Amino acid sequence: MATFKQSVYFWPDSSDSIPLNQDLIVIALDTLPTTLRFQARKLIRIAIKQVLAKILGCTFDEIELTFELGQAPRLSQPKHNIGLSISHESGLTIAAIHLNGKVGVDLLASKTIPDKGEIETLALEYLGAQTAEHLSRMANLEQKLAFAQAWTAFEARLKCEEKNLTEWTASSALQLNMLKVRSLILPDGYIGTIAFSD
């Protein structure tokens, strides 16, 4: 699992602190628990465009993003190899920007982590027997956190590779594990991971 932690910059409060010269940037928006997913996506897309305009030295209106259902947003300008990814949970929406390639990001609210029985089933089906066995030996709270970290890493890798959720196979695990991952520094109550390729 990831040992290096990725900073997250809250928009717009810490917009002046965003290191525009880094390859990997994660921004976040606090949203009300009642904010609908489509509203949160609209807000984070505005934030993405504002950050990209600063990075690319252009106006907000010059940044064109394309969106297809079930896929990550894409920058319309083909000369840039910029990867984008979005994840949303009640109360928080995050976006990852990778200036040099593909990226995937996933977020999980602590209150939505499944119970022990479901964790063991999900781990065996999607994370593999070795991870499932490792998780089964943990105490309840430790198990929930470890599962959340493993699950968000798995989902972030899938998003980075633009793959749908599928059951574990050795070949797919090998391919996904070639991607680098970092845990996100998030507020209490959330666990997140970013996956990217060099």
pLDDT for 74 equals: 87
Domain that residue 190 falls in: 5-196
Query: Which pair of tokens denotes residue 146?
Result: 């470890």
Q: How many domains does the chain have?
A: 1
CB 126 within 8 A of CB 135: no
Cβ atoms < 10 Å from Cβ of 139 = 8
Q: What is the pLDDT of residues 17-39, one digit of tens each?
A: 999 889 999 999 999 887 788 89
The candidate with the shortest Cα–Cα distance to 96, out of 3, 180, 1, 188, is: 180
Quote the CA–CA distance of 178 and 83 in Å, as a whole number: 17
Other Cβ atoms closer than 10 A to 79: 6
Residues 104-118 have a mean pLDDT of: 96
Strand ranges of the sheet holding 92-98, from the earlier edge strand across to the other edge: 9-10, 24-30, 92-98, 83-89
pLDDT tens-place string over residues 133-172: 999 999 999 999 999 999 999 999 999 999 999 999 999 9
pTM: 0.93
Note the pLDDT of residue 76: 84
HEC letters along 116-128: HHHHHHHHHHHHC
CATH of residue 124: 3.90.470.20
Please give the pLDDT value at position 78.
Answer: 65
